[in-house]
Structure formats: structure tokens, C-alpha cells
A and B are shown apart, each in its own frame.
Chain A
């Protein structure tokens, strides 16, 4: 595997379910990010982890719970979601968080539908 991978690619869940999204980067980076992409809205940064420490929580509801066990893996745990949470969830990584020349590399995303 190369680059940034995300699983699953598609997920349908009910409002009472608990599920997790997984992201893995094979680039040796130290920063990882979760974004939410909704139709006709700008990409919304949700969380930033730098060297496994959370450095940004962009006022995300507590029904989204991130976990970063090491610099290569990032999870997003989901519980009691709402239909308006349906979106494409993108993971990204960069060498470190910060520095204008640190390009972010994105995964293909998980398309989440909440019924």
C-alpha cells in the first residue's frame, strides 16, 4: 500500500449504531487530519494530530471521537450520529502540522450515510 488509505470506502449506519473509520498513511508523516466534505460547502477541518497529540478540535460534536494510536494510524469513532452527518470524510497526512511548505496528502475518503 502506498500513500493514504481509508476504510471502509462506503458506510451506511443507523442513528443508534457505533462504527469507526480508519485511516493509515504509509508516507512516514507525523501529522494526520480529519476533514468533512459536504455538498456545496467548503471542506471542514475536524481534527489535527501532530506526533500523536491532538492539536486542533474544530468545535466538533462529541458524537465524533478521534483516536491516534501512532503516527501512521488515525481513527474516527462514530456514535449516535444524525442524518446531517452524512458526508465524505477525508483523512490527510503531512510531514508535520505547521509550515507552509508541508503539503497535505489525502486519502480517497469514506462516504458515510446516516439513516
Chain B
């Protein structure tokens, strides 16, 4: 079945450090890929997405590129801030003509220290 594997946390970085959170997937078709973020006490919010190979999703300084050859969608940010502390979820979705659902990874907790 379809699955998402992302690096286990927690990840702790200093402010202005470079961030990479790895995500790889297994899918039988051609998925769309997503990163969701969950801030403390809140629900998940879509951070960025990519719907086909070689697409790059970006938002709030975060980027991820859909790499079909390596089945990966790694999340990167050049300079993290304390406000980026949250749990990040990689997810995939395959369109099945109206019966679509998201498959999530386990989440990676990120803590940024000043």
C-alpha cells in the first residue's frame, strides 16, 4: 500500500540554521505530495504542495521538490526562526476519481532555540 516515511525527531536547531527534514514515499500511482505543519495547540495547516514530478512547492521560506527518481519530497529552509518550532508532517494523496485520501508520515517535531 501507499506509505510515507519521514525522519524521526525530535530535531533541535539554533536560530538561523539550515533545515532539512527528509521524506520518502511509496505509492502505486502518481501521487501529489504535501507538507503540513502543526503548531502547538492547533490543527494541521497546509504548508506547501507539489502535484507532479519536478514541481517545487514553497511557502514561508520553506521549499520541497518532488523527486520521482528518488521518491522523495524533502523539506528545506535556509534560515529557521524560533516561530518555526512545530511538528511537520509529510503526506501523499493519489486521485482515485473521487475516493481520495491523504496518507501521512509520523511527523517530525522541530524545536528552534534562540
A interface, CB within 8 angstroms of B = 4, 6, 40-43, 45, 48, 50, 55-56, 90, 92, 97-109
Contacts and interface: CB of A to CB of B under 8 A. Distances in A.
Given A90-B43, A100-B32, A101-B51, A42 B95 contact: no
- Lowest 10 A-B CB distances belong to which pairs? A106-B43, A98-B98, A43-B104, A100-B32, A106-B44, A98-B100, A42-B104, A108-B43, A107-B43, A103-B46
A100 B103 contact: no
Interface residues of B, number: 26
Contacts of A6: 43
Interface string B42-77: 111110010100000000000000000000000000
A103 B91 CA distance: 12
Nearest to A55: B99
Interface of B: 4, 32, 36, 41-46, 49, 51, 89, 93, 95-107
Given A98-B97, A100-B51, 11 more contacts: A40-B106, A42-B104, A43-B44, A48-B101, A50-B98, A56-B99, A90-B44, A97-B100, A102-B100, A108-B41, A109-B43
Contacts of B49: 103
A90 B107 CA distance: 15
Given A90-B43, A106-B43, A42 B99 contact: no
A20 to B, nearest CB: 19
Contact of B105 (A42, A48, A92): A42
B93 A100 contact: yes
Contact of B103 (A42, A98, A102, A109): A42
Contact of A41 (B41, B51, B106): B106
A97 B4 CA distance: 21
A45 B106 CA distance: 13
Nearest to B45: A106
A4 B51 contact: no
Nearest to A100: B32
B105 to A, nearest CB: 6
Nearest to B32: A100
Nearest to A42: B104
